Amino acid sequence: MDETVLGEKKYRGEFIKPGRHYLEGSEACVEGALLAGMKVYAGYPITPASEIMEHASRRLPQFGGRFIQMEDEISAACTLIGASWAGAKAMTATSSPGFSLMQEAISFSIMTETPLVIVDVQRPGPGQGYITTSQEDVMQARYGHHGEGPIIALAPSSVQDMFELTIEAFNLSEKWRTPVLIMAEETVAHMREQLIVPELDTIEIIGRKKPQGLGITPENYLPYGHELVPPMANFGEGYNINHVSLAHHADGNVGNYSLKAHRENIERLHQKIEGSVNEIARVESQFLGDCDHVLICYGSVARTGLEAVKEVRELHGIKMGFIRLVTLWPFPEEILRNLISTVKTVFVPEMNLGMMKHPIAEALRDKCDQVISIPEIGALHNPEKLVDKVLEVSTC
Amino acid sequence: MLKHPMLEYIKEEGSSGMRLPHILCPGCGAGQVLNYTLHAVDDLIKEEGVKKENFVFISGVGCSSRLTSHYLDFDSGWTIHGRSLAIATGALLANPELKIIVFTGDGDAAAIGGNHFIHAFRRNINVTVLCVNNGLYGMTGGQVAPTTLPFVNTPTTPYGNIEDAFDLCKLAEVAGASYISRWITAQPMQIIKAVKKGIANKGASFIEVLSQCPVHEHETPVDSMNALKEITVPVKKAESSDKIPVGELHFAPRPSWTERYESVIEKANQRLS
Amino acid sequence: MKKDNRFEIRIAGFGGQGVVTIGKVLGSAFTIYEGLNSVNTRSYGPESRGGACRSEVVVSQGEIHYPSVRKADVLVALSQTALDKYMKDLKEDGILLVDPNSVKDVPKGFVYFKVPAMEIAHSVGNVKFQNSVVLGALAAILESMIKKESLKLAVSENVPPNTIEKNIEAFEAGWARIVTAKLAVAE
């Protein structure tokens, strides 16, 4: 595990043991975060994400970490920024209305290249909407923050995912010096199922690259320079790092403004994430060998999706392939295109009125005859809904 | 040519060229506050052996928030309008040993930042807040602020301000700040001393500095500073006067948030044994 | 009952009856003590007490994809509303368990089990123990699928430590009621 700034005291907190467990998604998320090295959690109560915060409040101090319930979601997100700057891995969890409040902080984190993890346990909107499940924030994840700033967003489908993807989220945030979103839903946060924890020393934990590690002295340090992913000094290390979110030069200077320097700043941010999509993004697939159609889904809908795909294959003889987007953003366009040669119909079931359908349709525009959205608001699709749609479309 | 002694703590230039000059207007009070703060920090580093790398400067948005900007030779963060105290809270949760100084203005602290203002003080987080109060939104053109006096004309109160002004120090006291003082920009030695006291106080220290804004007040800096002298009175004589009291207004130290969280860590670990 | 196929259990009633706990304990018993895969989901209204509440457990030896009930093998209905709403999703040869004090109207000719959970819990000491009564009843009904000991262990791990004894007592009472009762037939 990487160093913490919290000193040498001995704490009695123990990581979740290797083996078989039975946990709620919310708990699995926190256990993954602790293993990843989370030391600060700042949150605000909101249904259906409060369980993550409550679990963190109990566990964090066992490891000498610090938990705080802030006065609103805005300050919760901002607390993560300060914690990260001072060297701690930090996380919060919220739901859709709180996610809206955090967008300015997310934009700021992108521009200042601040590692942090935000879990959005999505619920329907707009407004208060309801307290059940949804995938209505998946576009907001990419475009909700102002400005052209790329981001990484993951979509967990199970309790195992809530554990593994949380660790992955921390690793990605540290490796790419960026905020990372976990786009969960009420379904997967409240679901209880088996969790298999591997031997702890087989779990890779990544910490941010430091200038000290690259032999860069404070005098020569460029907070936004040196490499595509700039090494990051923490507060208190004598590197005199200036975090700024006006368009800046590599040394953190916001003076000597030029369009050229401004554009270089933004282009590097994009190159860092969007340009690295094939390294960052993950997609899972089954039955693509000789499929006529393919079903593409993410999050809990992948549970229904796989059930439906197996049913249409086994009971109706339809050659349906299955793709699950583990990473929503950066959008894995090339990875998707490489998985599919040509199909007749692409089905995209989502717990919204059709959002990821758009980048999917664009990515596969020349690889399929049509893209059909299967929307559902407020609840997880049942397999009948998907099977009926597939039968309807494939028999005409 | 003589060099300003506090330039020791300023990055004048970097690999991308000059970082100075700063953008502050001639006669601005914010620059004075930066000068006094750096003097205080300089004293602490040179005379009391406080490590330079432990100082962190955080600011939000506005003229006074420009004091961190990109030229302080310290760890710093020039952050989101009104949210410096939340960000400072996070830094302290990760490293309670940091000596955090927050530069803010009256709008940044008490309008958009109002919620974080009261909670940071309620929690008594270990931070020293320098609030440069010029009674308006300077950066954006002089609009009315929660600290603008009644009847004043501004670009958004062209018929006169109908609202009453916050007393920021009273607000800070009721919220729970443990050290509170108010000064005007023409009190360099007092402010330097106050900043040192604020940093030494292991809790929330709020230092309000009433400042001139010559550009938006349409006055000369000297006239403006004299006006500040005229509307204020030393706190010892405040009772028999209508004027705004300046000086040390409140000092009631109590354990900071991170000190108290130690008991949470202890309890959490005891229950595991 | 086959363990290798999906087996679906739905519990429904009002908030405050322990519907969620029943699902949680069942899932825990299947997953930890029987080594099966299980998924437990729940849904409820925003009210802390009194709103409609539903908990589901899907069990399988293999991987479970769709996490909710499609056609229940077991329905536990602790309120009339719950029965009325979910009867149609119960398999024709499915198992129905009701609290007869809350559920009076059962479809004609349907064979089902009865356990007056609230009444028994009250006699043990507190109506809060009704979920353990139901779990005891389920332990008897699902004897071929899950060991009584597994459920008892799961109960003791999911209740406040100072109430374990009483909860086990309630569990045993629910168990006993099923074992000794005859199946009821609706008139």
**3-class SS letters over chain C:** CCCCCCEEEEEEEECCCCHHHHHHHHHHHHHHHCCCEEEEEEEECCCCCCCEEEEEEEEECCCCCCCCCCCEEEEEECCHHHHHHHHHHEEEEEEEEECCCCCCCCCCCCEEEECCHHHHHHHHCCHHHHHHHHHHHHHHHCCCCCCHHHHHHHHHHCCCHHHHHHHHHHHHHHHHHHHHCCCEECC
Residue with tokens 């924030």: A137
Q: Which CATH class is domain B24-270?
A: alpha beta
Q: Is the Cβ–Cβ distance between A363 and A326 less than 8 Å?
A: no
> What residues of chain C lie within 8 A of the CB of A308, using their CB?
66
Encode A299-334: b = buried (16+ Cβ within 10 Å), e = exposed. Answer: bbbbbbbbbbbbbbbeeeebbbbbbbbbbbbbbbbe
Instruction: Tell me the mean pLDDT in the region A24-52.
Output: 97
Does some domain include residue C1?
no
For residue C34, tell me if it sits in a domain. yes
Chain A residue with the nearest C-alpha to that of B52: A238
CB atoms C67 and A193 under 8 Å:
yes
Give the range of the structural domain holding residue C52, as residue numbers without chain letter. Answer: 7-185
Question: CB of C68 within 8 Å of any CB in chain A?
Answer: yes
Helices C148-157 and C130-141: crossing angle, nearest 10°?
160
Res. B36: pLDDT tops 60: yes
Contact: A81, B90; criterion CB under 8 Å: yes
Q: Residue A309 above 90 pLDDT?
A: yes
Select from B78, B80, B269 the Cβ nearest to the Cβ of A104: B80
Eight-state DSSP code of residue B10? B
Average pLDDT of chain A is 96
Q: Would residue C69 count as lying in a domain?
A: yes
SS3 B148: coil
Of B15, B56, B83, the CB nearest to A74: B83
Domain count, chain C: 1
Determine whether the interchain pair C32/A20 forms a contact, defined as Cβ–Cβ distance below 8 Å.
yes
pLDDT of the residue at A30: 98
Q: Average pLDDT, stretch A49-67?
A: 97
> Which band of pLDDT confidence, cut at 50, 70 and 90, is reported for residue A381?
very high
Give the whole-angstrom CA distance, residue B156 versus residue A77: 31
Question: Per-residue pLDDT for C46 more than 70?
Answer: no
First to last CA, chain A: 57
Query: Which of residues C48 and B101 earns the better pLDDT score?
Result: B101
Q: What is the arithmetic mean of pLDDT over A85-94?
A: 98
What local confidence, expressed as pLDDT, does residue A8 receive? 53
Q: What is the DSSP letter of B72?
A: B
Per-residue exposure over B16-44, b if at least 16 CB sit within 10 Å of its own CB, e if not: beebeebebeebbbbbbbbbbbbbbbbeb
pLDDT digits (tens, 9 = 90+) for C125-177: 999 999 999 999 999 999 999 999 999 999 999 999 999 999 999 999 999 99
Q: What is the pLDDT of residue B17?
A: 86
Distance CA B104, CA B81 (A): 9
CB pairs under 8 A between A and C: 58
CA-nearest residue to A159 within chain C is C39
Percentage with pLDDT > 70 across chain A: 97
Average pLDDT of C110-133? 93
pLDDT of the residue at C45: 64
For position C118, which CATH number holds? 3.40.920.10
Report ipTM for this prediction. 0.96
How far apart (Å, rounded) are the C-alpha atoms in residues B165 and B145? 8
List, for residues B184-240, the tens digit of each pLDDT value: 999 999 999 999 999 999 999 999 999 999 999 988 999 999 999 999 999 999 999
Average pLDDT over chain B, rounded to whole?
A: 95
Residue A3: which pLDDT band, with cuts at 50, 70 and 90? very low
Query: A382 φ, ψ to 5°?
Result: -95, 160
What residues form DSSP beta bridges with A235? Answer: none
pLDDT at residue A110 greater than cutoff 60 = yes
Asked if A13 lies within 8 A of B268 by C-beta distance, the reply is yes
- Are chains A and C in touch, 3+ Cβ pairs below 8 Å? yes
Mean predicted confidence (pLDDT) in A176-194: 97
Distance CA B218, CA A33 (A): 55
Looking at the complex, does the CB of residue A189 fall below 8 Å from at least one CB of chain B?
no
> Do C115 and C178 touch, CB atoms closer than 8 A?
yes
Q: In this predicted structure, what is the pLDDT of residue C51?
A: 79
Partner-chain contact C70 A303, CB within 8 Å = no
Tokens read off for B24: 């502050």
Q: What is the pLDDT of residue C47?
A: 61
Architecture of domain A284-394: 3-Layer(aba) Sandwich (3.40)
Q: A40: which chain B residues are within 8 Å (Cβ-Cβ)?
A: 90, 93-94
Q: Give the pLDDT confidence score for residue C1 in this predicted structure.
A: 43
Contacts of C32 in chain A (CB under 8 A): 20-22
Nearest to B80 among A71, A78, A239 (CB): A78
- Comparing alpha-carbon positions, the chain B residue that sits nearest to A6 is B95
- Cα–Cα distance measured from residue A235 to residue A85, given in angstroms and rounded to the nearest whole number: 6
Q: Do C66 and A131 touch (CB under 8 A)?
A: no
Q: Looking at beta carbons, which residues of chain A come within 8 Å of C56?
A: none
Q: Which residues contact A56 (CB under 8 A, 6 or more apart)?
A: A30, A33, A38, A41, A43, A67, A91
Selected residues 214-243 of chain A with any CB under 8 Å from a CB in chain B: 222, 225, 235-243
- Roughly how many angstroms between the first and final C-alpha of chain C, as a whole number? 27
Q: Give the residue ranges of DSSP H helices in chain A.
A: 25-36, 50-59, 73-85, 96-101, 103-112, 138-143, 159-176, 186-190, 259-273, 277-280, 301-316, 333-339, 357-363, 383-394
pLDDT for residue A9? 63
Calculate mean pLDDT across residues A277-289. Answer: 97
How many residues are recorded in chain B? Answer: 273
Chains within contact range of chain A (3+ C-beta pairs < 8 Å): B, C
**Count of CB pairs separated by less than 8 Å, A with B:** 193
Average pLDDT over residues A342-369: 97
- The CATH topology of domain A19-202 is Rossmann fold (3.40.50)
B35: left (phi over 0), alpha (psi -120 to 50) or beta: alpha
Residue with the larger pLDDT of the pair B23 and A138: A138
Structure confidence at residue A237 as a pLDDT band (50, 70, 90)? very high
CA B2/CA B21 separation, integer angstroms: 16
Ordered by start, the domain boundaries in chain A are: 19-202, 212-277, 284-394
Look at residue C187 and tell me whether its pLDDT is greater than 50: no
Please, what is the Cα angle at A109 between A103 and A112, to 5 degrees?
Answer: 145
Whether the pLDDT of residue A94 is over 80: the answer is yes
Q: Is there a domain that residue C127 lies in?
A: yes
CB < 8 Å to B52, chain A: 238
Question: Which residues in chain B touch residue A70, judged by CB atoms under 8 angstroms apart?
Answer: 86, 89, 119
For residue A143, is pLDDT > 50?
yes
